[in-house]
Structure 1
Amino acid sequence: MRIGIISHLKYPIAEPFAGGLEMHTHLLARALRDRGHAVTVFASSRSDAALGLEAVCDATALDEVGTAEAHDVAFFKEHHAYLTLMNTLRHRDFDVIHNNSLHYLPVSLADTLPMPMVTTFHTPPFCWLESGVRMCSAANHTFVAVSRSVARLWDHVAPSDQVILNGIDLEKFGFSPQPDPEPYLVWYGRIVPEKGLHFAIEAARSIGVRLRVAGPILDQVYFDGMIKPHLGDRVVHVGHLDHLALARFVGGARAFLCTPTWDEPYGLVVAEALACGVPVAAFARGAIPEILDESCGVLATPDDVASLAAAVRGAMRLSRYDCRRRAEQTCDARRMIESYEALYNRRIAMHAESEFCEVPLLHA
């Protein structure tokens, strides 16, 4: 198949990944190429060239576009980049377009394309994306949710045609049967308020176990006010790690703390921890209860430090082998890729059939 993948443009699709969406897009494109498909990724110019990259813009910077009258320059530049891309795609020969962005223009303009589009819902509805989704027809478009939780949140706007759980490369997150001899807990992800790192710090302090933190600082005010004052011997920020270093870092922990303050659409970090054999203590929000069961994780009351601390104690008693088994059963990227391949084929066949039916019959 000839597959075009539209990414979002705020961060490069390259390691070290800014977040789960970047990692997911990279994995999807790489795996599809490995399976023999002709894949083109439309992303910012700093993304991984090995993905079949066609740069849409230089990290949303379009210097040649006048922006003097724009109230939000970054928003306008992103708008212009996607508008240009969608116009370009009208003249391309892809079999299917997979929209992996969070922008309203690809969905609102999907009906202008000569090929079918698949859009994955990676987030709950928000005003700009919801507006675009309401503009497109179902005839040339398929919506996929990354969890049942996300599908329910979109039901009032556009019911999902299918739920395809995200997956991870289990080989990149290898199993660690034994934790590091010096006990520590781990938290990693984007350091922003909605990821709730401050709750993990409080819970680790309350049970007297060191906490090690990894991830990019994407909200400096939050980091300076809520995180930095607690750093020291008991709480250490090791920086932003690539896959290999991250797997070693996570694999040595006694437990992983997942502390979102919102309904997490999926939770790739949970899947990665399980793949390493690390039990999870997590707030019961969004899709996290769909990934965890009693063999591999303990759920805590959201925003409750005492409940989280109790969950950590329970998680540290769980089997690391059961955690890895759960990852293999639920989080394997091969299952995800096969599901998308089957969906692409169905949509291409349906599109071809609809085009055939629209050809007028000639009478003798």
Structure 2
Amino acid sequence: MKIAQIAPLAESVPPRLYGGTERIVSYLTEELVRQGHDVTLFASGDSVTAAELVPVTDMALRLNPAVRDPIPYHMMLLDAVRRRADEFDALHFHIDLIHMPLVQDFIGRAVTTLHGRLDLPDLPAFYRAFPDHSLVSISDHQRLPMPPVNWAGTIHHGLPSGLLPARPQTSDGYLAFLGRISPEKRPDRAIRIAARSGLPLRIAAKVDNVDRLYWEAEIAPLIERFPNVSFIGEINEAQKADFLGKASALLFPIDWPEPFGLVMIEAMACATPVVAFRCGSVPEVIEHGRSGFIVESEDEAVEAVRQLGHLDRRLVRAAFDARFTAERMAADYVQLYHGLPGARTEAALLRRLRGEEAELQAVG
């Protein structure tokens, strides 16, 4: 198939540091290319890909100090997609909702994966106004706040199987927290759980400007108070394998409707179990008693840490291999692309007009 992947411009694909959406776009794009599809990636110019890259900006917007408003650049992105839309059998958007009024001419070949939370008060009115767009959720739980829309499917995220090596026999005896310092991620819970468990806690996290006050008022004093806690800061992909792989467990003590939680499957790929609070997608990702423990309180989390020795880390990695590889994710999306209403009608006509074989290759 000829497939367009349309990425946000805030980060490169893949991102240099934090950027879950752009990371998934990269994993999906590279796996689709590996499987033999003709893929074009619309992204920032500092992106790295085996696909054809359409560089909409010179660099990721977050890294460009001259950028004040991202909207003009995303309008440029949409215009670049519009100009080439007839080249593709499927156009896959990862930019939330900004494109929806502009893709009516090829809506039958377009699909949008919603990567963020959907329980925000302004979203229902928007999605009621655009009920015909094919949407993909990244967990079933993510869908719950939405009005009736055209769900094309739920497709869980996946990672390249060789990205993070499993460490089934090794552990340095510490607990890990990886992500952002923010109230909904509850690093305060992680600190208290580690303190009560008597284990060191290592926090690898970024602090956004919007969360700076929370960091200074709530989290930095807690870290100062407990000598078992070390703050490492933001880490890159290469550092992640050691950070997660050497941990006894990842703590995922969230307090919000997490749409997916990429860090959970990153830990599982490293054969590291996850102790996660029952919120959002957690019950869809973690198999209680196999890939980790699902808890509902700090008391239960402390007890789960005590039970970590009963888990077989090889089974944690096996749970990842069975459900969360990029190969499985890409296969799910290809099946979905073939099912789009324009994939065999509109796309076939466009191929004939281009003098190409009209029939799409068989799924699989």
Answer yes or no: same fold by TM over 0.5. yes
Report the Cα distance in structure 2 between the residues aligned to 1:32 and 1:120, rounded to whole angstroms: 16
The Cα of 1:216 is off from its aligned counterpart by 2.1
Cα deviation, residue 336, structure 1 = 0.7
Structure 1 residue corresponding to 2:302, chosen from 303, 306, 309: 309
Aligned to 1:174: 165
Using the alignment, how far apart are the partners of 1:99 and 1:334 within structure 2?
19
Name the residue aligned to 2:200. 210
Shift of 1:21: 1.5
Q: Once the two structures are aligned, what percentage of the paired residues are identical?
A: 30
Report the secondary structure of 2:306's partner residue. Answer: helix
The within-5 A match list for 1:1-364 is: 1-48=1-48, 52-57=52-57, 58-60=59-61, 74=68, 77-92=69-84, 93-102=87-96, 104-113=97-106, 116-125=109-118, 126=120, 130-136=124-130, 138=132, 141-154=133-146, 156-180=147-171, 182-218=172-208, 219-231=211-223, 233-293=227-287, 294-301=289-296, 304-347=297-340, 348-352=342-346
Determine if contact 1:110/1:136 at 8 Å carries over to the other structure. Answer: no
Aligned CA distance change for structure 1 residues 60 and 254 (closer, same or farther; 3 Å): closer
- Kept in 1, the 8 Å contact 2:157–2:324? The answer is yes
Residues 131 and 107 from structure 1, CA distance in 2 versus in 1: closer, same or farther, beyond 3 angstroms?
farther
Whether contact under 8 Å (2:131, 2:149) holds in the other structure is no
Distance in structure 2 (CA, Å) of the matches to 1:131 and 1:81: 25
Q: Distance in 2 between matches of 1:314 and 1:15?
A: 36
Counterparts in 2 of 1:278 and 1:81: CA distance versus 1, 3 Å: same
Contact 1:16 1:240 in 2 (8 A): no
1:308/1:114 CA distance change after superposition, 3 Å: closer
Q: Residue deviations 1:3-33, cap 9 Å, x none?
A: 2212223333334331322211111112122
| Greater mean deviation of Cα atoms: 104-113 or 242-251 | 104-113
Task: Verify the 8 A CA contact 2:14 2:25 in the aligned structure 1.
Answer: no
Distance 2:230 2:299 in 1: 22
In structure 2, list runs of 5 or more residues that go unmatched. 351-364
| SS across alignment from 2:145 | helix
- CA apart distance, 1:262: 0.6
Instruction: Give 3-state SS (helix, strand or coil) of 2:203's partner.
Output: strand
Unaligned 5+ residue runs, structure 1? Answer: 66-72, 357-364
Instruction: Tell me: CA distance 1:157–1:99, structure 2 relative to 1, closer, same or farther (3 Å).
Output: same
Q: Check whether the contact 2:135–2:150 (CA below 8 A) recurs between aligned residues.
A: yes
In structure 2, the partner of 1:360 is none
Are the aligned partners of 1:111 and 1:137 in contact in 2 as well (CA < 8 Å)?
A: no
The whole-number CA distance in structure 2 between the counterparts of 1:48 and 1:20 is: 16
C-alpha contact 2:131 2:148 (8 A) present in aligned 1: no
Deviates more, 1:324-333 or 1:31-40: 31-40
Structure-1-length-normalised TM-score: 0.83
Instruction: Say if 1:129 and 1:32 are closer, same or farther in 2 by CA, change over 3 A.
Output: farther
Moved more, 85-94 or 22-31: 85-94
Give the count of matched residue pairs: 338
CA distance in 2 between partners of 1:217 and 1:44 (Å): 23
Relative distance call for 1:42 and 1:191 in structure 2 (3 A) is farther
- Conserved in 1, the CA contact under 8 Å of 2:42 and 2:81? no
TM-score (normalizing by structure 2): 0.83
The alpha-carbon deviation at position 353 of structure 1 amounts to 7.9
Instruction: Give the C-alpha shift of residue 354 in structure 1.
Output: 9.5
Distance 1:275 1:114, change over 3 A: closer
